[in-house]
A and B are shown apart, each in its own frame.
Chain A
Amino acid sequence: MTAEARLGQVANYVDERTGAAAWMKKNLQKVFPDHWSFLLGEVALYSFIILLLSGTFLTFWFDPSQREVIYEGSYAPLEGIKMSAAYASTLHISFEVRGGLLMRQIHHWAALIFMAAIVAHLMRVFFTGAFRKPREGNWIIGVGLLTLGIVEGFLGYSLPDDLLSGTGIRIAEAIIQAIPVVGSYLAYFAFGGAFPGEAFIPRIYTVHVLLLPGAFLALITAHLMLVWYQKHTQYPGPGRTEKNVVGYPLMPVYMAKAGGFFFIVFGVIAFLSAVASINPIWLYGPYTPGQISAGSQPDWYMGWLDGLVRMAPPLESHYFGYTVSWNILIPGLIVPGILFTGMALYPFIESWITGDKREHHLLDRPRNAPNRTALGAMSITFMIVALINGGNDLIATHFDLSINQIMWGTRFGIFILPPIAFVVTKRLCLSLQRADRELVLHGRETGRLLRLPHGEFVEVHEPISPEKAYLLTSHEQAPALELPEVDGRGVKRAGAIRNKIRSRMSVAHSEAIPKVSADDLKEIEH
């Protein structure tokens, strides 16, 4: 029997029982547009798979217990030291299990890259407007995945019970404890009594390896099914419309590329884990509440939060015998809450501003949505300022600055720099639009100078291709919403202030350099 015939038999067997052939036939021809930025989400997905694989390996030896043990393993500088079983078993994985340290490092590097890829993917989706109808739901799932990722990462960082992660748990406990009314109760419930107790690590272990990965799997499945069903967005260009999707079929090109890319991601993470040490817990030592290391920082995706907490003003209110710690609540819960809620709701906010309720499958070039791009740049600036303050001690020692200077710099910077980033980015986008307009109207500068008979020098411009001209002019330029304050019968509308805000924002949102039309080009020819 030939291989083909054997394959046929298997296919026949499956199809007679599931009727999969019809569905498979259609989906194997599914078209995926090709662009490097569409692979950022894939990096996150593959890192997640790597996390599942390496994490499972680690569970075989990890002992999630805060039971006190005396270390008797092979790492001499900790010989005879009292520590938790969790810390001792992490040392065991690192030094006695062959390949254990490599797997630990793969797990941790994969986690950092997972989060970095999620953020990069989120930026791609935001700046290109891929979140617009019909993909608002998937955007919210994405924000959910980001939030879960931060929590999952923090729990994983906490599990080895080393001095650094224990300090992180201490801070998490202080945040819980600061919640008004129920804080101390919640903290006692979470820790099974007073901090640190012996219950927390076993509990977060279950959450880290069972509950959250389960939630991740469910959300990622929904995320991917929606991408599959709604088909991928595509960048604008000749031949690409709202009604089609141009790319390569799943079978065989995309399958080979995406499948191959999984191995690339795994390979790069393995490479990092081979050459660069991460979380050397044996140097940190076991956790005890009386010890601390200079430069105690969380992983990068929590760094902005730590930076916000550092720059918070020393505010605490005392009302009728009760304490409200604004210095913890504002940076630790309120600001992140507002940021993440705002981010999740952004698709709805934008469509409210523009009044645009149509489907969008063609992506925006970021310059063609100056307001949105500027808002994104502003948010990134906010995060970077916070992140810088999260590492202010290391920045201070490495660049000969003082932590006080950096702290004051970021305290002001967090208010001043984001609006500046907004204005600059918006201006930049408009300038780029202007440059596009010039390019379409007058063509490309060739750098060749020509001397005219009367002595004047001019640069020769070459017309650009019709494809390029189309790309630079195919975007929509919707006018601002017209929201009159009075209705047709001269009666003032309800919600005047709301209307005014919407109108203002709509005007700001529609600001643009008029794109070149066919008429403009004709005029120039004459």
Chain B
Amino acid sequence: MKRLSRYRRHKAAGPALLIFALLAIGTTFSVASATTTAQTTTADRSALIEEGRQIFLKGCSSCHGLNSEGGAIAPSLVGVGAASVDFQVGTGRMPMADMSTQAMRKEPLYTPEETAALAAYVASLAPGPEIPTEEQLNYERDGSTAEGGELFRNNCAMCHNFAGQGGALTQGKYAPTLMGVEPKHIYEAMVTGPQSMPVFSDKTITPEEKMSIIKWIKAAEAEPNLGGASLGRVGPVTEGLLAWTLGLGVLIGVAVWLAMKAR
């Protein structure tokens, strides 16, 4: 996935890239809003919930229980809210492919419409965090990159690394990279606290501040490599490796040539 997004960036020149990114985000929004407008009337809504329940019974209930009450291997979904479902299912984490240490981001199994139905069903069980609307997610207008950076370093960098590249947690768990994650999903993760991640309440980090964080992450993602190849933006480890291999390696190569007798 990471490689794919980098490849996409390869194809486009700087300004074109920006336009492309904006277009991509815009398209996502229109898809997202298309699903939300479907929930306008009550009749539509109960139909949606019923559709979600059917999907749930087929795809989720074996682990989460017929009434979402949870089980030995999966938590209860009562009160987790639509945002949680949208994040877990929308990023492909749920349903889990295997019972490994943690659910990985992958190609979503359900279509956006099915995801919306599932979210509506789970939200109907008990109130919980809502999926942010397109209007709420206007981070380009409402956010401040610098303030977002400050908040990010205070609240996120300890797990996701200074540039959002992800990092290790205990016992093989890890904080995933934030590169290429949709703004909606970043927001949902902050309010729902999926898996190892804690919840960042709207009172301690206000929705406006969350927009700033998203804006900073998107800025970091779009930031070109100012000083040469980024080496993964993971700090001195890769730098040391390169100094020994490419740096000293080339120098030793030249030294061997230097000491060789000419013919």
Residues on A facing B (Cβ under 8 Å): 34-40, 43, 76-81, 94-95, 101, 105, 108-109, 112-113, 116-117, 120, 163-164, 257, 260-261, 264-265, 268-269, 272-280, 282-285, 290-301, 303, 391-394, 396-397, 400-405
* B215 CB to nearest A CB, Å: 9
Select the stretch in B85-93, B127-135, B157-165 that faces chain A.
Answer: B157-165
Known contacts A39-B255, A163-B153, A293-B157; 16 additional CB pairs below 8 A are A34-B259, A40-B252, A78-B146, A79-B145, A101-B226, A101-B227, A113-B247, A164-B162, A261-B254, A261-B255, A264-B251, A291-B154, A292-B158, A294-B157, A295-B167, A298-B236
Name the residue on A nearest B176 (C-beta).
A397
Q: How far is the CA of A404 from the CA of B172 in the complex (A)?
A: 8
Q: List, in ascending order, chain A residues with CB within 8 A of B168's CB.
A: 294-295, 392-394, 396-397, 402-403
CB pair B258 A36 closer than 8 Å: yes
Q: List, in ascending order, chain B residues with CB within 8 A of A273's CB.
A: 228
Q: List, in ascending order, chain B residues with CB within 8 A of A265's CB.
A: 251
Q: List, in ascending order, chain A residues with CB within 8 A of B160's CB.
A: 294
Name the residue on B nearest A296 (C-beta).
B235
Pick from B173, B174, B233: contact of A280, CB below 8 A. B233
Pick from A268, A274, A392, A405: contact of B228, CB below 8 A. A274
Q: Which of A257, A276, A284, A291 has the most CB of B within 10 A?
A: A276
Q: Which of B153, B173, B225 has the most CB of A within 10 A?
A: B153
Q: How far is the CA of A292 from the CA of B172 in the complex (A)?
A: 20
22 contacts between A and B (CB under 8 A): A36-B256, A40-B252, A77-B145, A77-B220, A81-B149, A101-B226, A113-B248, A113-B251, A116-B247, A261-B255, A276-B239, A276-B246, A291-B153, A291-B157, A295-B237, A300-B241, A392-B168, A402-B101, A402-B172, A403-B170, A404-B171, A405-B172
User: Is the C-beta of B57 less than 8 angstroms from some C-beta in chain A?
Assistant: no
Give a binary string over B213-241; 1 marks a CB under 8 Å from any A CB, 0 the rest: 00010011001011111110111110111
Give a binary string over B189-203; 1 marks a CB under 8 Å from any A CB, 0 the rest: 000000000000000
CB pair A400 B240 closer than 8 Å: no
Residues on B facing A (Cβ under 8 Å): 101, 145-146, 149-150, 153-154, 157-163, 166-175, 216, 219-220, 223, 225-231, 233-237, 239-244, 246-248, 250-252, 254-256, 258-259
A285-B162 in contact given A101-B226, A272-B246 (Cβ < 8 Å):
yes
Q: How far is the CA of A265 from the CA of B252 in the complex (A)?
A: 10
Q: How far is the CA of A37 from the CA of B248 in the complex (A)?
A: 12
Q: How far is the CA of A40 from the CA of B251 in the complex (A)?
A: 9
Name the residue on B nearest A400 (C-beta).
B172
CB pair B239 A81 closer than 8 Å: no
* B89 CB to nearest A CB, Å: 24
CB pair A397 B162 closer than 8 Å: no
Q: List, in ascending order, chain A residues with CB within 8 A of B159's CB.
A: 294
Question: Closest 7 A-B residue pairs measured CB to CB?
Answer: A294-B167, A300-B240, A402-B172, A112-B243, A277-B227, A293-B162, A393-B168
Name the residue on A nearest B244 (C-beta).
A116
Name the residue on A nearest B174 (C-beta).
A397
CB pair B158 A402 closer than 8 Å: no
CB pair A272 B236 closer than 8 Å: no
CB pair B233 A283 closer than 8 Å: yes
A276-B231 in contact given A113-B248, A293-B161 (Cβ < 8 Å):
yes
Q: Which of A257, A275, A277, A400 has the most CB of B within 10 A?
A: A277
Pick from A279, A397, A404: contact of B239, CB below 8 A. A279
Pick from B101, B163, B167, B239: contact of A278, CB below 8 A. B239
CB pair B258 A292 closer than 8 Å: no
Pick from B158, B230, B258: contact of A39, CB below 8 A. B258
Name the residue on A nearest B172 (C-beta).
A402
Q: List, in ascending order, chain B residues with CB within 8 A of A34's CB.
A: 258-259
CB pair A277 B243 closer than 8 Å: no
Name the residue on A nearest B100 (C-beta).
A400
Name the residue on A nearest B148 (C-beta).
A77
CB pair A80 B157 closer than 8 Å: no
Pick from A36, A81, A257: contact of B146, CB below 8 A. A81
Q: How far is the CA of A449 from the CA of B117 in the complex (A)?
A: 78
Q: How far is the CA of A68 from the CA of B242 in the complex (A)?
A: 35
A268-B162 in contact given A77-B220, A396-B174, A403-B170 (Cβ < 8 Å):
no
Pick from B150, B172, B174, B248: contact of A81, CB below 8 A. B150
Q: List, in ascending order, chain B residues with CB within 8 A of A394's CB.
A: 168, 234, 237
CB pair B256 A116 closer than 8 Å: no
Name the residue on A nearest B254 (C-beta).
A264
Q: List, in ascending order, chain B residues with CB within 8 A of A300's CB.
A: 236-237, 239-241, 243-244
Q: How far is the CA of A413 from the CA of B216 in the complex (A)?
A: 41
Name the residue on A nearest B260 (C-beta).
A36
Q: List, in ascending order, chain A residues with CB within 8 A of B219's CB.
A: 76-77
CB pair B258 A257 closer than 8 Å: yes
Q: List, in ascending order, chain A residues with CB within 8 A of B227's CB.
A: 94, 101, 105, 276-278, 280
CB pair A391 B154 closer than 8 Å: no
Q: Which of A39, A293, A303 has the most CB of B within 10 A?
A: A293
Q: How far is the CA of A257 from the CA of B163 in the complex (A)?
A: 44
CB pair A269 B237 closer than 8 Å: no
* A83 CB to nearest B CB, Å: 10
Q: How far is the CA of A516 from the CA of B231 in the complex (A)?
A: 52
Q: How far is the CA of A250 from the CA of B135 in the complex (A)?
A: 76
Q: List, in ascending order, chain B residues with CB within 8 A of A268's CB.
A: 247, 250-251, 254
Q: Which of A95, A294, A297, A298 has the most CB of B within 10 A?
A: A294
Name the residue on B nearest A168 (C-beta).
B236
CB pair A303 B255 closer than 8 Å: no
Q: How far is the CA of A39 from the CA of B248 in the complex (A)?
A: 11
CB pair A277 B228 closer than 8 Å: yes
Q: How far is the CA of A347 from the CA of B168 in the complex (A)?
A: 43
Q: List, in ascending order, chain B residues with CB within 8 A of A120's CB.
A: 248, 252
Name the residue on B nearest A113 (C-beta).
B247
CB pair A283 B166 closer than 8 Å: no
Pick from B149, B235, B243, B247: contact of A78, CB below 8 A. B149
CB pair B220 A43 closer than 8 Å: no
Q: Which of A261, A392, A402 has the most CB of B within 10 A?
A: A402
Q: List, in ascending order, chain A residues with CB within 8 A of B250's CB.
A: 268
